[in-house]
């Protein structure tokens, strides 16, 4: 099975793992043996980079980046679209390769590749949303403009059991970027609550919202309310791009709503995708599609991921670093509310 997959993907028994404008034939970092964990069979070997190979690869990436940043964002998006299409064409073989190398079930291997495809689609939409501000200056007949550029060469270290998806997430983040600016408004509706010795001052927030810009130029709006009637587990997000949109709501946690702008006009509209055995983490809880998982199942999955991280020494998302970034955004929101101004992160 592996030989057939490797043949279609153009892989050799010993494959260079170092690229610097072209594959380096004999990198000096030794060979990494890939083993099928289910059978113990050697699948192949990858030649790793030595220090000189690494420097060569970084220098090549920096040289190419000088040209890449001059390419208009929609054109960069078109290249990313072509990458996504190439992944679609090879999805079955790439998913099987992930399964054979990591021991995942086939549906999870395919799911990893699908995440790469989804991130490409997301980045294509954002490539036409890299807006910038026009800012007045002290000089007559003069304006300053805000222009966003790609981040530049970046390095990504990922766990062995997520060989492609995490790389794709970070590649997309390098294009889109984290929240860079925000303007927030926060209020406490119920200023006090009854206490044993009289009213107690409430210090937490009841309602909050903020507008934000991401480092890549995309715009967003986030809001929350602890006091709005009617919602029970209303944790929802909407993401729109030039190719379509997605929506998710925690109150209906087994469904994702998908809109494709590329569908024929008469067929355009949100369609509901239900979780089933082909989606990650579903099969251990339920054998058939449509039955759904519950909130308590999510707690079990979180506990499994936490224990697995302890066992393997590999962090899983979200990490403490992710939590720190969230706290930076929350702190900036409070400072923005206090000053009434936009805050740069």
pLDDT tens per residue across span 102-152: 888 888 888 889 888 888 888 888 787 777 778 777 778 888 877 776 667
- What CA–CA distance (Å, rounded) separates 29 from 81? 33
CATH number for region 178-232+274-345: 3.30.360.10
Which of the pair, 306 or 216, is modelled with greater confidence?
306
pLDDT band at 46 (very low <50, low <70, confident <90, very high): very high
pLDDT at 41: 87
Over range 167-192, report the average pLDDT. Answer: 72
Which of the pair, 160 or 339, is modelled with greater confidence?
339
Phi and psi angles of residue 16, each rounded to the nearest 5 degrees, phi first: -70, 140
Q: With 50 as the cut, is the pLDDT of residue 294 above it?
A: yes
Helix H or strand E encompassing 200: strand 200-201
pTM above 0.85, yes or no: no
Q: How many CB atoms lie within 10 A of CB 112?
A: 24
pLDDT band at 175 (very low <50, low <70, confident <90, very high): very low
Domain range list for the chain: 178-232+274-345
Cβ within 8 Å of residue 64, ≥6 positions away: 21
DSSP string, 7-62: HHHT--SEEE--BSSSB-SS-SS-EEEEE-TTT--EEEEEEPP-HHHHHHHHHHHH
51-56 contacts, C-beta under 8 A, 24 or more apart: 52/28, 53/18, 53/20, 53/24, 53/27, 53/28, 53/29, 54/18, 56/20, 56/24
Q: With 50 as the cut, is the pLDDT of residue 190 above it?
A: yes
Percent of the chain with pLDDT over 70: 92
Q: Parallel, antiparallel, or unpaired: how do β-strands 14-16 and 42-47 relate? A: parallel
Which of the pair, 69 or 92, is modelled with greater confidence?
92
């Amino acid at each position: 099975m592996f030989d057939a997959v490797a043949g279609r993907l153009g892989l050799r028994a010993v494959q260079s793992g170092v690229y610097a404008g072209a594959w380096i034939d004999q990198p000096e970092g030794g060979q990494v043996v890939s083993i099928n964990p289910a059978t113990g069979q050697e699948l192949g070997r990858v030649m790793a980079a030595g220090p000189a190979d690494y420097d060569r690869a970084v220098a090549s990436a920096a040289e190419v980046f000088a040209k890449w940043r001059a390419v208009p964002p929609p054109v960069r998006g078109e290249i990313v679209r072509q990458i996504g299409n190439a992944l679609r064409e090879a999805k079955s073989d790439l998913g099987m390769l992930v399964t054979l190398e990591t021991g995942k079930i086939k549906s999870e291997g395919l799911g990893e590749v699908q995440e790469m495809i989804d991130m490409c689609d997301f980045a294509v939409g954002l490539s036409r949303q890299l807006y910038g501000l026009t800012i007045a200056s002290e000089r007559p007949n003069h304006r300053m403009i805000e222009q966003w550029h790609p981040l530049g060469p970046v390095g990504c270290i990922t766990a062995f059991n997520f060989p492609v998806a995490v790389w794709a997430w970070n590649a997309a983040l390098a294009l889109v970027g984290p929240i860079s600016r925000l303007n927030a408004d926060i209020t406490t509706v119920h200023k006090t609550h009854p206490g044993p010795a009289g009213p107690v001052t409430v210090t937490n927030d009841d309602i909050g919202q903020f507008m934000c810009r991401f480092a890549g130029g995309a715009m967003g709006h986030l809001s929350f309310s602890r006091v709005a009637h009617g919602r029970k587990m209303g944790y929802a997000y909407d993401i729109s791009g030039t190719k379509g949109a997605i929506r998710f709501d925690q109150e209906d946690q087994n469904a994702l709503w998908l809109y494709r702008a590329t569908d024929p006009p008469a067929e355009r509209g949100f369609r509901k995708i239900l979780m089933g055995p082909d989606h990650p983490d579903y099969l251990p809880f339920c054998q058939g599609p449509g039955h759904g998982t519950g909130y308590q199942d999510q707690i079990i999955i979180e506990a499994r991921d936490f224990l697995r991280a302890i066992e393997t020494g590999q962090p899983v998302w979200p990490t403490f670093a992710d939590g720190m970034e969230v706290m930076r955004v929350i702190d900036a929101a409070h400072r923005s509310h206090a000053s009434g101004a936009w805050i740069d992160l």
